Amino acid sequence: MSARRTVWLGRAVRAVSGLGVVALVAVIVAGGVRLPEQDVAAPADGTVVDVPPGTVTLTCPGPLILPESSGDKAFDPTPVAPAIALLAAAASSAGGSVAPAAGGDAVATLAAGSAAALVTPAVPLVVRAEPTEAVARVAGAVGSIVTAGDLRGLSAASCQRATTDAWLVGGATDLSSTAQLVISAAGSTPAEVTVAVYGPSGKVDLSASHYLVAPGAQRVVVLGAVAPEQRRVAVRVTATGGAVTAYIQDSVLDGFTPRGTDLVVPGSAPAKHVVVPGLSVIAAGVDSPLSGALRLMVTGKKATTAHIRLLGARGEEDLPGAQEIELEPGEVTDVPLGGLPAGAYTAVIDADLAVVASGLVTRAGAATAVDPAPSMERAWVASAAPGVSGIAAVPAGTRGMLVATAVGGAGDATGTLRAIGDDGRILAERTVTVPAGTTGSWFADTLVGTGPVVPGKQGTATPGVRVAALELVPDDGGARLAWALVADVGRPDGTLISVLSPVPADPASTAVTVRQDPRVGTR
């Protein structure tokens, strides 16, 4: 046989073999036939290994993004500089620090045990706490107080753990509103971030939706530039390559009259059962701009009906005409909270499909010699998972109020409450009890004392003692506790307000099952 014929035959055999493999794969795919398994032993049960707790890292909001000045002093958008402070508090750690997110020397340290630190940030900062035998329990909060100008209000938020998927429900991009999405890459690798914006008519076709955020860096996305003229928005931020934190700086200006500034932070993941605690509302009519609202959106591709319950101090309160709300897929809907008696509430939303939700509460301002129209203050309230332990730091210069509710279950909800002082000491450890289906509220400084904490009994603040942070550990059984921290600043021209979510505590250790893979190794 000639060499040329041998080469031709070899090619033909390989071609037929290749066609046979393709045909076999087609049969397998079409018929669902499985190839014979290799002779592999059944996997062993494996060994459960406790992974030691690591360093807790929280990324904190940076200074407010100030509006550009026109140069006319009569219409200066920032006639007073924001008063900003970061308070970090640890209930337990082996020590820690507060340092610039972009790297560099620490600006403050956290001593071992329970500790607190107060700094004035000029750049975005991170709080780090080292574990003991268990995970460190630590929180941080940044508060910015602006008493006049376009950004008048209290803008405060807890420092966040990084994530790869976050929903921020709040803000708007219409002519009177400014919404700026701030994304920070907390890890050591760059993050590829995708932003999706939803409005009253559904998902918005963005002019730009993909961003690269370098490690330790911050990226600001002006939502009005990529998704203009949206009266209400919900934003989803997803990341690959690295984890991120995100918040929206939201402000409203009616002509020259400030209508409130706050930070919109991520809430709980989409779910069929969503809880929004910390709704501290004032008495207002349904059509009043002071009525506040619930914001809802179904995240899937089908419509659903949301059933809304509002739990107050006396139990469930009627929200006329809003117990059931039809939600179209991807459309952001606001439900006014007007008509409720003043007080603290928790919204419980149940639906057949997964939804996201948040709340908006307001406070009335006052007219000034420069602006005869009364100002207004606003605060966004994130949803929260009930039954989760956490710590919330009280922003410096504010008064803190614990708002806790008992959801689900037939019995009362109970938990252990610890009050942490400005110096980091545990000032008090109490038992908090909330009857099922109700919401209780207590000013933080009145929680230093003895005896159980029950709704309707405020207690008396101790002179010279300030509670810097609250830690709440819910008990198992009965109803579950969901809670938030309401911070406010009383002023002659009206109260400034923000609502902070607690920083959830990690489990003491993470159990990992380790098994040998028989396919790996050498023969």
- Give the 3-state secondary structure of residue 13: helix
DSSP string, 387-440: T--EEEEPPTTSEEEEEEEEESSSS-EEEEEEEEETTS-EEEEEEEEE-TT-EE
Residue boundaries of the structural domains of the chain: 51-65+79-504
Q: Distance (Å, rounded) from C-alpha 451 to C-alpha 466?
A: 19
**Which tens digit of pLDDT belongs to each residue from 34-83?**
333 333 334 446 677 777 888 999 999 999 999 987 666 666 788 899 99
* pLDDT value, residue 52: 80
Instruction: Work out the pLDDT band at 515, boundaries 50, 70, 90.
Output: low
Residue 95, by phi and psi: left (phi above 0), alpha (psi -120 to 50) or beta?
left
- Token couple for 306: 């949301």
* pLDDT value, residue 517: 54
**Which tens digit of pLDDT belongs to each residue from 92-113?**
999 999 999 999 999 999 999 9
Report which DSSP code applies to 9: H
User: Other CB atoms closer than 10 Å to residue 76's CB: what's the count?
Assistant: 15
Burial of 70 (0-12, 13-18, 19+ CB in 10 A): exposed
* pLDDT value, residue 249: 98
- Token couple for 100: 């610039």
Quick one: average pLDDT of 258-277? 97
Q: Which residues of 402-425 are buried (b: 16+ CB within 10 A; e: fewer)?
A: bbbbbbbeeebbbbebbbbbbebe
CA atoms within 13 A on the CB side of 20: 6
Whether 247 shows a pLDDT value over 70: the answer reads yes
Report which DSSP code applies to 217: -
**Which tens digit of pLDDT belongs to each residue from 423-465?**
899 999 999 999 999 999 999 999 997 777 888 777 777 788 8
Find the distance separating the first CA and the last CA of the chain, reported in whole Å.
Answer: 40
- Give the 3-state secondary structure of residue 270: coil
What is the percentage of the chain residues whose pLDDT exceeds 90?
Answer: 73
Instruction: Work out the pLDDT band at 318, boundaries 50, 70, 90.
Output: confident
CA atoms within 13 A on the CB side of 165: 3
Instruction: Work out the pLDDT band at 493, boundaries 50, 70, 90.
Output: very high
Quick one: average pLDDT of 115-137? 95
Quick one: average pLDDT of 126-150? 95
What is the percentage of the chain residues whose pLDDT exceeds 70?
Answer: 87
Place of tokens 């057949």: 352
Least confident of 3-17, 59-73, 282-296, 305-319: 3-17
Residue 321, by phi and psi: left (phi above 0), alpha (psi -120 to 50) or beta?
left
Helix (H) or strand (E) holding 30: helix 3-31
Structure-derived torsion over alpha carbons of residues 230, 235, 241, 246, reported in degrees to the nearest 10? 100
* pLDDT value, residue 513: 62
